[in-house]
Structure 1
Amino acid sequence: MSDAAPLRGQIVKEALTFDDVLLIPGHSLIHPKDTDVSSRLTREISIEIPLLSAAMDTVTESQLAIQMAR
């Protein structure tokens, strides 16, 4: 049985990958406190922490890696 069977008949929304987006360095008007890192697991359940973090030492330092592992 295919793992995709439960998805038949459902509409898949647009998704983007790294190759689809070009980031240009520059000043941003978005403040870190205004970002949303929550993830919806089900219709009723969402979590307020990121599921993934960039594998870069300037983004994911040891403290964040430890907290995400808990």
Structure 2
Amino acid sequence: VMLGSMLARFDESPGTVVTKNGKKFKTYRGMGSIAAMKKGGAERYGQARNTEEKKLIAEGVEGLVPYMGHVTDFLYQIEGSLRSSLYYLGAKNLEELFTKSRAVVITQASLSESHPHTVHITDPGKNYML
């Protein structure tokens, strides 16, 4: 499971809090980014540690993610969302989730339609991210 950018926005993750246009963000460096490879992560992606920067092939990015404080409240929201998903699928646990569900690919239009639309969201809640 890859959760890097999801968890990068919290105090418990490495990175610096910066303010941009009045909003707080945290710096994020994916493990496949050039910066991470220069710090010693290149071997993980089949590239030699001493490879010149111009020859490194990025498989991740650096950027900013919205700052969200402590991770505890967010994990509570994730747990609640998972419990709701289990309930909707009639599964009592994760094992049943994998046997009773199937993944379905949807189009970008379907994804847009599945989110609230024709409404200006004033309070998205802690667990709602686009």
TM-based fold match above 0.5: no
Q: Report the TM-score, using the length of structure 1 for normalisation.
A: 0.22
> Which has the larger share of strand?
2
Q: Report the TM-score, using the length of structure 2 for normalisation.
A: 0.16
Q: Which has the higher contact order (CA 8 A, sep 6+)?
A: 2
